[in-house]
Structure 1
Amino acid sequence: MALSEHLETKLKKRYEPSSMVSMKYKGNDLAFKTDDEGNAILLFIGKKDSEGHIKGERYARRLKKDDEGKVIKDHWELKGKAT
């Protein structure tokens, strides 16, 4: 399952650095980890269980920058099931 453009736009925003952010999106639960700059880098999407863990899919973001800090590669990759 590829991420929708609307979801990717939401994930491109800056959030609190080095934290775990949770939210709802179109009936699914989202949880994502941010790097030290506040970029989402690890995404869990699915349904939360009774313990608060998300069962669904896990995505990792490849965010590559050049020496000047300009983004040259920004891609989300499906890594498998999240349990």
Structure 2
Amino acid sequence: MPLHHELDKKLSKIYEPRATINDVFKGYDITFRTNENGEPVVLFFGKRRPDGKIVGERFTRTIKRELGSLTVKHSHWDNQGKIMNA
């Protein structure tokens, strides 16, 4: 299942490198982590528990770059399944 186009647009932006960012998208809680270039690469999507963890789904991003540069040639998000941390 692909990500909602508005969420994909939000996750295509550049953020602070190696950061964890908490946000809300269309009534759902999201947390994403960025890589050394500030690109989101891990997404947690669902409802936040009182301890701050999210129960829902986890996605990871695969990024393919132009040869010899940091320019993104292609990227896609893969659903890694449900997360229900006890």
TM-score, length basis structure 1: 0.93
Q: Percent identity?
A: 37
How many residues align structurally?
Answer: 83
Residue 55 (structure 1) aligns with: 55
Whole-Å Cα distance in 2 between the matches of residues 26 and 74 of structure 1?
Answer: 23
Matched residue SS, 2:7: helix
Whole-Å Cα distance in 2 between the matches of residues 27 and 61 of structure 1?
Answer: 22
Whole-Å Cα distance in 2 between the matches of residues 30 and 78 of structure 1?
Answer: 14
Residue 78 (structure 1) aligns with: 79
The 4+ residue runs of structure 1 with deviation greater than 4 A are: none
Matched residue SS, 1:7: helix
TM-score, length basis structure 2: 0.90
Residue 20 (structure 1) aligns with: 20
Shift, 1:53, TM fit: 0.4
Q: Give RMSD over aligned pairs.
A: 1.0
Unaligned runs of 5+ in 1: none
